[in-house]
Structure 1
Amino acid sequence: MKKVGFDIEKYLQEQSAYILERVEQYDKLYLEFGGKLIGDKHAKRVLPGFDEDAKIKLLNTLKDNAEIIICVYAGDIERNKVREDYGITYDQDVLRLIDEYRAYGISVNSVLLTRYEGQPTAKVFMTKLERSGIRVFTHSQIKGYPTNVEEVIGEEGFAKNPYIETTKPIVVVTAPGPASGKLATCLNQMYHEHRLGNKVGYAKFETFPVWNLPLKHPVNIAYEAATVDLKDVNLIDNYHYEAYGKVAVNYNRDMETFPVIKRIIERITGKESVYQSPTDMGVNRLKSGITDDEIVQEAARQEIIRRSFSVENDYKKGLADEDSVRHMQVILEETNLKKEDRAPVLPAREYAKQLQEQEGSTNLQAVIAVELPNGEMITGRTTKLMDASAAAILNSLKKLANISDEIKLLSPMILETIQRLKTDELNSRVPTLTANEVLIALSISAVTNPTSELAYKQLPNLQDTQAHSTVILNRENEQTLKNLGMDVTNDPIYPTDNLFYN
């Protein structure tokens, strides 16, 4: 049974009350949402008991008074940046987010493309949104933002970027990922709102780092590990200490820009800012939900290891630089962690080595190890019929259903027929069946085969299991495992020399 160290109800109650306190001070509050508004899987992993959709559920309680602006950096659309946890590009994620918000009955005001420079792919995306009835705006990059305050406040700054008309007292500004221009959007809106005579404020809905946990608490270090590509570093908020004599944790980007942001807000409003520190700007009651710090710390340590694998894989794929890899190595050193501290890593590697020795081969063996909820370790290997992902899932389902390992859940004849379809009719050069293909076969077999049905019914119990592969998974298999709720890592090694199919 999964250990729980976080009380989601207590957190939501305190967080909601604190937001409403801020709202009461203004005619309109622009609320920048840091992290994922929906599907915050990082928070779910480091805070066992956290609901990955907690923030949208909180916002749902305020929906009569709230609307959403979705920001996306035009450059991310142009280069097809991918949101890794869902395996979809940012433009696709914007569409997904709009559907999700609408399902909750929360008003989506518009989509804003930031730092727009006429990128062709971004233009196509804008047209698609507009033809679907979505309001679309663009903001161009402001020369000298944010440090050149005079330029930012001048006619070539916020004034030239359009005002997005809003009608509700809470305007949530969110995005598919970081560095999407959320803060600049909030400040731009504040500039125009003030010119219209509205009393307007800004706050940031923070999740990580947690300002009132120690600087080197594993939860805060896990945030640093998750943002190595952004070069984020956690720091003590010296502004907060000087103002209040209290230690608070923030991160370098907020610390560096705070004096400038404070000055911009003061120039916009013509009043001294109510904020004395970057921590003041945040609305973060996350610590109030932690009920068992030891459980949370261990979960955060595991997340740090998981992130180390992720960074190495991104480097192998050309998506991360050497600085990110080095920073991740430093984080592992300072937390006294090694990759083998992740439970399924050694069993996967040891089984792969055993297979290699048995076959007298120097070829890399593709193996996946899965740690079941009871701690038992199950492995699967690539065979002529199916790949390691498919084998590991079937073996895990058999164990969960107490089905003997000798019993076959799927007839080899059925699998071979599917293989012939792949190779002969669909012209695939990879005959081995993927996890998705085998799961479809299992679901069909479950209709007539009671044993297959027993295994099929165990699929929900793969949620939150830990898995490790000795080779880089292809995107389809990786996404299938993630869709099942499995946390998977892999060694940064391609299974073959075939560049296209890797």
Structure 2
Amino acid sequence: MKQGFDNDKYIRLQADNIRKRIAQFGGKLYLEFGGKLFDDYHASRVLPGFRPDTKFRMLDSMKQDVEIVIAVNANHIEKAKTRGDLGITYDEDVLRLIDIFRARGFHVGSVVLTQYAAQPAADAYRHRLAQLGVTCRLHYPIPGYPHDIERIVSDEGYGRNDYIETSRPLVVVTAPGPGSGKLATCLSQLYHDHQRGIKAGYAKYETFPIWNLPLSHPVNIAYEAATADLDDANIIDPFHLDTYGETTVNYNRDVEAFPVLKAMMERIMGKSPYASPTDMGVNMAGYAISDDEACREAANLEIVRRYFAAAVQFRRTGNGEDQVERLRSIMKRAGVDENLSPARKAALDKEAATGAPAGAMVLPDGRVVTGKTGDLMGAASALLMNALKAVTGVDMELPVIDAAAIEPICRLKTEHLHAANRRLHSDETLIALSITSSTSPVAAQVIAGLERLHACDAFFSVIISPTDEALYRKLGINVCCEPKYERTSLYHK
């Protein structure tokens, strides 16, 4: 993919800006981290050059000044709320996050259970944390939150919460998912610090929307597409415009909540340090865009991907028609349609010509290769093999995988695992290719091309299996499917 974002410049600018914000508040800052701290694949797709772990790398550059606090809502623990992308509960994800932070050398100070009301599952989790040697603090529901400012900012509100002892200038407050109480955790700490005479401040770190890009910029529109299920929108920050006469972009929920947040900070600190939601942010991503056109192209492709993902989900579940229509509207606003990627036309044309489900992929040099379902391979496997041959310069007609490596897998699937489909999934194809590569230099050459498919766009004329889709995503290949099934049956495994 053509690069449009200077990752090194971003890390440098971002770290410097956070340090300035720490100094602004006398040496201590509670930084609310929105979105994903690592594995930020949306950012890497719409800002080509942004690495999925860039925010982690930025924090690593100032590691000695950083302390991590992880917030998790006790109600989410009680309801066993699950992260859809990982398939694990929020309480388990907290432990996963702690392991990752510690493995990278970060100091994890505490876990805070927000909205704690003696929920049985939350109590069990609290005791589990204690056994694991993890400090746990409790924050309680506050009647009238968030509008009863007088009660919230008092001994009956934030004052009831446990105080989290912190020792470093930058306290990063993160969470396993939305609704975990990060903002309330930051403000509660501000209240307690100011009661103790400790100077401290609050700021927010959200990558999107990018405040100093136009509202109509595809990168910002792509964020609306990514959050279409929330039915929220990017808007002009009216507080910033009124105060400074400068047009900036913010999220409607942050704008709507700002008057209440400002009132809380005024009561805690005597005067709010911020005149607008934009003021609160520290994001410098807009300053690290090195090729605006490359980012526009990448963001437009992401908007279309989000549309197809929603359309497929609607086809699978029957739910989400409103989201599909909203994404149609977003595509129209961005000036793109379903045929933006040439892979779609190539896949549909291949299916029409052969009568079999097909796929197509746009390679790094702009070539489009195709693959179709055959006797031994599904469309995803055939396309992957053809793409690997193309990027490694191997003859497209040359059989690369030894039939002796394929047939045993096919027999195992049908004779012993009782599968109805004997064709190889893409992961099974790579295993067969790997086995062949031990004796075939050509197979070894082909498998060495996997990294060159990273960030390529693939499109399939039918909905592919979760197994194939997961393998493509592991390889970093962007996948879209036409929202239809290969078969007309009612049940699709």
Q: Please say whether Structure 1 and Structure 2 have the same fold, judged by a TM-score greater than 0.5.
A: yes
Deviation at 1:252, TM superposition (A): 0.5
1:178-223 Cα offsets, whole Å, 9 max, x none, are 3432212212222233333322210011211111111111111111
Hey, what does 1:386 align to over in structure 2? 377
Residues 461 and 70 (structure 1), Cα distance of their counterparts in 2 relative to 1, 3 Å cut: same
Q: Distance in 1 between matches of 2:489 and 2:125?
A: 33
Q: Distance in 2 between matches of 1:495 and 1:120?
A: 46
Mean CA deviation greater in 407-416 or 425-434: 425-434
Hey, what does 2:150 align to over in structure 1? 150
Is the 1:225–1:307 contact (alpha carbons within 8 Å) kept by the matching residues of 2?
yes
Task: Give 1:239-318 correspondences, 5 Å limit.
Answer: 239-269=239-269, 271-318=270-317
Counterpart code for 2:197: G
Q: Distance in 1 between matches of 2:191 and 2:461?
A: 53
Residues 34 and 400 (structure 1), Cα distance of their counterparts in 2 relative to 1, 3 Å cut: same
Counterpart code for 1:3: K
- 3-state SS in 2 of match to 1:341: coil
Say whether 1:52 aligns with 2:43: no
Q: Distance in 2 between matches of 1:89 and 1:487?
A: 26
Hey, what does 1:362 align to over in structure 2? none
Q: Distance in 2 between matches of 1:454 and 1:485?
A: 20
Deviation at 1:419, TM superposition (A): 2.3
Mean CA deviation greater in 131-140 or 272-281: 131-140
Hey, what does 1:81 align to over in structure 2? 82
1:440 to 411, 431, 434: 431
Could you tell me which runs of 5 or more consecutive residues in structure 2 were left unpaired when the two chains were aligned: none
Is the 1:311–1:320 contact (alpha carbons within 8 Å) kept by the matching residues of 2?
no
Counterpart code for 2:271: E
Hey, what does 2:99 align to over in structure 1? 99
Deviation at 1:454, TM superposition (A): 0.9
Counterpart code for 2:229: D
Counterpart code for 2:50: F
Q: Distance in 2 between matches of 1:124 and 1:415?
A: 49
Counterpart code for 1:479: A
- 3-state SS in 1 of match to 2:202: strand
Deviation at 1:102, TM superposition (A): 2.1
Deviation at 1:75, TM superposition (A): 5.7
Q: Distance in 1 between matches of 2:38 and 2:362?
A: 27
Hey, what does 1:216 align to over in structure 2? 216
Deviation at 1:128, TM superposition (A): 6.0
2:476 to 485, 489, 494: 485
Say whether 1:199 aligns with 2:203: no
Is the 2:240–2:248 contact (alpha carbons within 8 Å) kept by the matching residues of 1?
yes
Could you tell me which runs of 5 or more consecutive residues in structure 1 were left unpaired when the two chains were aligned: 357-364
Q: Distance in 2 between matches of 1:475 and 1:372?
A: 23
Is the 2:358–2:462 contact (alpha carbons within 8 Å) kept by the matching residues of 1?
yes
Deviation at 1:146, TM superposition (A): 1.8
Is the 1:190–1:201 contact (alpha carbons within 8 Å) kept by the matching residues of 2?
yes
Hey, what does 1:361 align to over in structure 2? none
Q: Distance in 2 between matches of 1:283 and 1:421?
A: 55
Task: Give 1:396-407 correspondences, 5 Å limit.
Answer: 396-407=387-398
- 3-state SS in 2 of match to 1:464: coil
Mean CA deviation greater in 119-128 or 378-387: 119-128
Counterpart code for 1:487: N
Is the 1:481–1:487 contact (alpha carbons within 8 Å) kept by the matching residues of 2?
yes
Q: Distance in 2 between matches of 1:116 and 1:388?
A: 50
Is the 1:87–1:479 contact (alpha carbons within 8 Å) kept by the matching residues of 2?
no
Deviation at 1:320, TM superposition (A): 6.0
Counterpart code for 1:370: M
Q: Distance in 1 between matches of 2:422 and 2:126?
A: 40
- 3-state SS in 2 of match to 1:406: coil
Q: Distance in 1 between matches of 2:121 and 2:7?
A: 40
Counterpart code for 1:66: V
Mean CA deviation greater in 113-122 or 407-416: 113-122
Residues 37 and 499 (structure 1), Cα distance of their counterparts in 2 relative to 1, 3 Å cut: farther
Residues 79 and 427 (structure 1), Cα distance of their counterparts in 2 relative to 1, 3 Å cut: farther
Q: Distance in 2 between matches of 1:345 and 1:472?
A: 13
Q: Distance in 2 between matches of 1:187 and 1:141?
A: 14
Deviation at 1:463, TM superposition (A): 0.8
- 3-state SS in 2 of match to 1:57: helix
- 3-state SS in 2 of match to 1:180: coil
Residues 176 and 265 (structure 1), Cα distance of their counterparts in 2 relative to 1, 3 Å cut: same
Residues 125 and 435 (structure 1), Cα distance of their counterparts in 2 relative to 1, 3 Å cut: farther
Deviation at 1:125, TM superposition (A): 6.3
| RMSD value, Cα | 2.6
Is the 2:348–2:461 contact (alpha carbons within 8 Å) kept by the matching residues of 1?
yes
- 3-state SS in 2 of match to 1:173: strand
Is the 1:27–1:198 contact (alpha carbons within 8 Å) kept by the matching residues of 2?
no
Is the 1:32–1:183 contact (alpha carbons within 8 Å) kept by the matching residues of 2?
yes
Is the 1:16–1:58 contact (alpha carbons within 8 Å) kept by the matching residues of 2?
yes
Q: Distance in 2 between matches of 1:425 and 1:156?
A: 65
Is the 1:129–1:136 contact (alpha carbons within 8 Å) kept by the matching residues of 2?
yes
Q: Distance in 2 between matches of 1:137 and 1:326?
A: 43
**TM-score after normalising by structure 2:** 0.91
Residues 9 and 421 (structure 1), Cα distance of their counterparts in 2 relative to 1, 3 Å cut: same
2:399 to 398, 408, 418: 408
Hey, what does 1:359 align to over in structure 2? none
Mean CA deviation greater in 36-45 or 375-384: 375-384
Hey, what does 2:42 align to over in structure 1? 42
Q: Distance in 2 between matches of 1:127 and 1:209?
A: 39
1:22-71 Cα offsets, whole Å, 9 max, x none, are 11123421101122211211111111222221111110111111111223
Deviation at 1:157, TM superposition (A): 3.4
Hey, what does 1:61 align to over in structure 2? 61
Deviation at 1:161, TM superposition (A): 3.6
Deviation at 1:83, TM superposition (A): 4.4
Say whether 1:460 aligns with 2:451: yes
Say whether 1:372 aligns with 2:373: no
Q: Distance in 2 between matches of 1:136 and 1:426?
A: 47
Mean CA deviation greater in 463-472 or 321-330: 321-330
Q: Distance in 1 between matches of 2:76 and 2:312?
A: 20
Residues 53 and 82 (structure 1), Cα distance of their counterparts in 2 relative to 1, 3 Å cut: same
Hey, what does 2:344 align to over in structure 1? 345
Counterpart code for 1:213: L
Is the 1:69–1:171 contact (alpha carbons within 8 Å) kept by the matching residues of 2?
yes
Is the 2:14–2:282 contact (alpha carbons within 8 Å) kept by the matching residues of 1?
yes
Q: Distance in 1 between matches of 2:386 and 2:457?
A: 14
Hey, what does 2:409 align to over in structure 1? 418
**TM-score after normalising by structure 1:** 0.90
Counterpart code for 1:423: T
Is the 2:381–2:424 contact (alpha carbons within 8 Å) kept by the matching residues of 1?
yes
Residues 499 and 29 (structure 1), Cα distance of their counterparts in 2 relative to 1, 3 Å cut: farther
Q: Distance in 1 between matches of 2:414 and 2:121?
A: 34
